[in-house]
Amino acid sequence: MVICLTWTMTIQAQMSESARRIQEKLQAFVASGEYHVNKGDVIDSDEVTGSRTTVYGFSQIFGIEDQNFTDITLMFPHLKELENMLRSESIHADEVIVHNAGEGAPLIPGIQYSYGSNYGSVSRKIVFGNQQNIRILSFNEPNGFRYAVILMWEQTIKKDNVSGNNWMMNGSIFEIYGKNLEGSPLFQPYYNKQDQTSVFSSSPDSAAPKTYEELLAKVKQTCNIYKRETSGGKTAAVVILHKMCDGYPRKLTRDQYFALIEILSPFTETAMGQRHKDMFAYTCYTLYKKSEVYEEPVEVKERPAMIISATISTEQLHKYVSYNGLIMNESADLQMADCQISGTAPANADSVTVSRCVSSFEDFGTFPVQNGRFSFTIQLPKDEVCKLTVDKRDYTYFWADGQPIEANLIKRYIKSSKASQQRNNFVNDMETERLHRLRLDNLSEIDASLEKQRESYRQVIFKGNDDLLKAFALYKIYTELTYDELKPFISDRFRYANHLFLAPVKEYVAGLEKRRPGSRYTDIQLTDTMSNAHMLSEFIGKGYVVLHFWESWNRDQYDILPQLRTVYDKYHAKGLQILSLVIDGNYKKRWTDRLNEENLPWPQFTTRSLSTYGILSWPETILIAPDGTIAATPATTQELETELKRIYSTN
């Protein structure tokens, strides 16, 4: 098994000895497959600087034959070696946090880590569980970067006379490699549990629903996820479902219990494989013990619990596949195809990596290059875009269709089946245009490049004959298309409506449904810069209101504040009000500094109610009429001004 080795080799030469030794132990643990550790999900990846965070999850539940077994500190060899290495290297680390579960709750409830990237900075928060073991080390690297590893795990024994005892292990590892932020430590204590923006919850208990309504909603959601997941995702979902129900802290009424069982019981017959059926049955039994219906048995026969394991941990219930900040789940219709790939690479190349392009470039495997040639066969998702990367530097895209592929990675050219050739050329042409744009400094030239690319995607979508290429193009620019333009492509009449490319499109259209013109507005809570609470309803009924959803750090072509100021100056005297709702208000200083810089004359708020209006990307604008109906959802400020001109010219 080869796990992220090309990235490892790229940075190892620049790493300190301590960091290199830790990374070797980490990769050995991942390669061992202990506790069904996954091969790592890359998040916040920055191809320009090399900054990235990789998250590894591991989880296992199995029955205990020995009813007297009490050793919850059991640790398999490779994880133990990694933990020992972290302990021994702590004397060389610049930042160290060590906490053992037996010492009680951690001294701080969590941490926030921040590092630099080509886009500014990356910041994430991690909340600790009260029963977790925690090992955190960071090192200043010689090239202006920081390397850090966060290891957290929890072990418990669940005793039950009927189902048998279970030993449970759940944990995660964050491997961080990022640019130093001037004058700022990599880690800072994190205390605000109410702020859940960019938070990783590292404890299974922290994900447990607190109310019956929340439990019911999560059970429905997880069962729906189970239905459409691939086998690995189904295994994870059924384990998470059990942990979630087991962690519910309240007594269930008879009606509540039977409502949950009505959802779960069909899976005891229809779930994939006997282990999954048993686990659904065990979850039903867990809920039974939490209900009013439960009666303590007078005499029971002991038996060991069923064995079940997850390839990902609690905080990774979904296979995270991100684009434009959206998250979608793996399609249950996913098909794999055997692909024979051969070709030429630069003479000094060591390896070629095959990656998937819709899941943060999930690596499928790395293969050697010998004398500038490579050849291998690999299973890939059928009808998806993948890429070939030489030593994690230069890459070329291709469509996986099960047909042989000949790649010239020196000229970045793919020769494949006739059906896929046009798709390969198109995808690589679009990437060439994107890379060209990164080298531009002139804003008008950047805008022209973006418009050229947008028009190419639109030509494919609305005038092309290749439905699969249409799905890819939609995946790239769906946030710039209207509801009416998108709707036909998510209906069953479109051949690839259930393709993974269309999953975020469906979520986006569902969001548009929540703010369709003609529907009534929904009241939401707003918080101003002084932390005072307001309601949207305070501003409705006095004139037209524009809701502007935005992000304070964004200053590129998606920053529409200058155009909004023009709209405000022109129509405010006629009764128009603008309310800007920032989505990153938790970074209050950054937000208020931007407001002071812009000196905007209209009210400024932050809100946590983005889902109420289905806001999944930004900037977005919603125009609300005085009677409380949604008048329009303009895609651009030009559309907004056109609508306002029509409104005020007729009033």
Amino acid 323: pLDDT: 29
Going by C-alpha positions, the residue among 103, 108, 146 that lies closest to residue 126 is 108
- CB-neighbour burial class of residue 74 (10 A; exposed 0-12, middle 13-18, buried 19+): exposed
Average pLDDT of the chain, as a whole number? 79
**Its pTM surpasses 0.85:** no
Question: Rounded to an integer, what distance in angstroms lies between the CA atom of residue 450 and that of residue 444?
Answer: 10
Q: What is the pLDDT of residues 133-172, one digit of tens each?
A: 899 998 888 778 889 999 998 887 766 555 456 677 778 8
Q: What is the pLDDT of residues 562-581, one digit of tens each?
A: 899 999 999 999 999 999 99
Average pLDDT rounded to a whole number, residues 536-544: 94
**Helix axes of 467-477 and 418-438: crossing angle, nearest 10 degrees:** 20
Amino acid 5: pLDDT: 38
Flag the least confident range among 159-173, 214-228, 443-457: 159-173
Question: Rounded to an integer, what distance in angstroms lies between the CA atom of residue 528 and that of residue 524?
Answer: 13
Amino acid 161: pLDDT: 56
Give the β-pairing of 545-550 and 577-582: parallel
Amino acid 321: pLDDT: 28
Question: Rounded to an integer, what distance in angstroms lies between the CA atom of residue 234 and that of residue 226?
Answer: 5
Which DSSP helix (H) or strand (E) runs through 11? helix 5-12
Distance set, CA 545 to CA 119, 564, 583 (Å): 32, 13, 18
Question: Rounded to an integer, what distance in angstroms lies between the CA atom of residue 643 and that of residue 255?
Answer: 50
Flag the least confident range among 5-19, 321-335, 633-647: 321-335
Decide: 635 and 549 in contact? Cβ < 8 Å. Answer: no
Q: What is the pLDDT of residues 405-423, one digit of tens each?
A: 999 998 888 999 888 999 9
Q: Tokens at residue 321, please? A: 């596949």
Going by C-alpha positions, the residue among 250, 242, 228 that lies closest to residue 156 is 242
Concatenating the DSSP letter of every residue in 560-577 gives -HHHHHHHHHHHGGGT-E
Distance set, CA 413 to CA 37, 47, 268, 343, 371 (Å): 36, 21, 50, 10, 19
To the nearest whole percent, how much of the chain has pLDDT over 70? 80
Distance set, CA 302 to CA 194, 285, 298, 379 (Å): 43, 15, 13, 44
Amino acid 602: pLDDT: 96
Q: Tokens at residue 104, please? A: 């009680």
Instruction: End-to-end CA distance of the chain: give it in Å, rounded.
Output: 69
Handedness of CA 95, 197, 27, 352 (dihedral sign): negative
Residues 6+ positions from 159 with CB-CB distance below 8 Å: 165
Amino acid 128: pLDDT: 82
Instruction: Tell me which of 105 and 319 has the higher pLDDT.
Output: 105
Give the β-pairing of 604-606 and 577-582: parallel
Give the β-pairing of 145-158 and 52-64: unpaired
Beta-carbon count within 10 A of 443 CB: 10
Judged against a pLDDT cut of 60, whether residue 92 lies above it is answered with yes
Amino acid 479: pLDDT: 81
Judged against a pLDDT cut of 50, whether residue 308 lies above it is answered with no
Judged against a pLDDT cut of 70, whether residue 65 lies above it is answered with no
Going by C-alpha positions, the residue among 625, 620, 626 that lies closest to residue 639 is 620
Bridge partners (DSSP) listed for residue 624: 545, 630
Distance set, CA 25 to CA 1, 360, 512 (Å): 15, 24, 47
Judged against a pLDDT cut of 60, whether residue 71 lies above it is answered with no
Q: What is the pLDDT of residues 274-298, one digit of tens each?
A: 667 777 877 888 888 888 877 554 3
Amino acid 454: pLDDT: 92
Going by C-alpha positions, the residue among 631, 630, 629 that lies closest to residue 643 is 631
Instruction: Provide the strand spans (E) within 204-330.
Output: 308-310, 321-323, 326-328
Question: Rounded to an integer, what distance in angstroms lies between the CA atom of residue 2 and that of residue 343?
Answer: 21
CA 564 to chain centre: 31
